[in-house]
Chains A and B, each alone.
Chain A
Amino acid sequence: MTDISMHLNTDEIELWAQGLLPAARAMHLADCSLCRVEAERERKVILQLVQLPKFAPSAGFADRVMAQVKVHAPSGDWTA
């Protein structure tokens, strides 16, 4: 059992930011403003990272790839 007065380590802060820290450890945040500030800052960065958009390559990307891939045709021939 971890002592409730022990500061959270980086891994625990990451877990907390993701809502995964066990309640027994999360309780430490109620009493420790040092960890609270640290955890809040970390949560903000992680949230921004998690919300980053996915970008798509331009149209026809798959065709350009496929044009250069060896496909084993159903007939058994190799086509470029």
Chain B
Amino acid sequence: MVAWAKQGHDAAFRELVRRYERPVFSLLYRMVRDRALAEDLAQETFIKVLNGIKSYRPEFKFSSWIFKIANNAAIDHLRRKSIDTLSLDGAPSAETPDQVRATSLQLGDRAESPLDEVESRELGTAIERAIARLRPEYRSCILLRHVEGYSYEEIAETLDLPLGTVKTYIHRARNELRGYLDDRRE
């Protein structure tokens, strides 16, 4: 299929979109929690993948390549958005560039726009809201692990992270999720 698509066949491209549109859109939607925006990012992802398909290396899992591009698009967006939020609200007490990045991502994340009707039906459940409270880096790891069923090694490869970091992120993410879900019951 991918080999066929590499020759630029319309039908093969469509088949690849059909096969991956739901997983890619679902990941992006859970990352940015805005349907229209997730769709823009998904579109951007597929255009990049299909126009760049000649550079695809077959030793890399094709879905990993798509998720890598999708995740980068989401993280870039969240980072840009948080910088906007910061410049509006004034910088927090961050001193080093790393702290700025860390706090800005979290700030942007919290400054979430309200969900519309469809979005709150789709993303309003307790587990979805708990996922939304995770740092974006934790969120993509946990979604790839348990929604896509990726192994730790595949996630490390997809997200360009050391294996140990992936494990730490996933364990922390599950811990935080448990905490958020328990809070709700008290």
Task: Show the binding face of A for B, using Cβ within 8 Å.
Answer: 10-11, 41-42, 44-46, 48-50, 52-58, 61-62, 64-66, 68-74
**B50 within 8 Å of A by Cβ?**
yes
Closest to A79 in B: B10
Closest Cβ of chain A: how far from B184's Cβ, in Å?
A: 12
For window 155-186 of B, CB contacts with A under 8 Å fall at: 167, 171, 174, 177-178, 181
Query: Main secondary structure on chain B at its contact with chain A?
Result: helix
Do A49 and B147 contact each other (CB < 8 Å), given the known contacts A54-B23, A54-B26? yes
Do A46 and B7 contact each other (CB < 8 Å), given the known contacts A61-B39, A69-B51? no
Asked whether, in the complex, the Cβ of B177 is within 8 Å of the Cβ of A69, the reply is no
Asked whether, in the complex, the Cβ of A62 is within 8 Å of the Cβ of B18, the reply is yes
- Chain B residues with Cβ below 8 Å from A54 are 22-23, 26, 147
**B102 within 8 Å of A by Cβ?**
no
Asked whether, in the complex, the Cβ of A50 is within 8 Å of the Cβ of B39, the reply is no
Q: A11 to B143, alpha carbons, bound, how many Å?
A: 17
Closest to A47 in B: B146
- Chain B residues with Cβ below 8 Å from A68 are 43, 47
Q: A56 to B27, alpha carbons, bound, how many Å?
A: 11
Asked whether, in the complex, the Cβ of B47 is within 8 Å of the Cβ of A65, the reply is yes
Asked whether, in the complex, the Cβ of B147 is within 8 Å of the Cβ of A50, the reply is yes
List 20 A-B pairs, Cβ < 8 Å: A45-B174, A45-B177, A45-B178, A45-B181, A48-B127, A49-B127, A49-B142, A49-B177, A52-B127, A52-B147, A53-B122, A55-B29, A61-B17, A61-B21, A61-B43, A62-B21, A65-B43, A65-B46, A66-B10, A72-B9
Closest Cβ of chain B: how far from A31's Cβ, in Å?
A: 23
- Chain A residues with Cβ below 8 Å from B43 are 61, 64-65, 68
Q: Please indicate which of the listed interface residues A56, A57, A62 has the most CB atoms of chain B within 10 Å of its own CB.
A: A57
Q: Please indicate which of the listed interface residues B14, B35, B167, B174 has the most CB atoms of chain A within 10 Å of its own CB.
A: B174
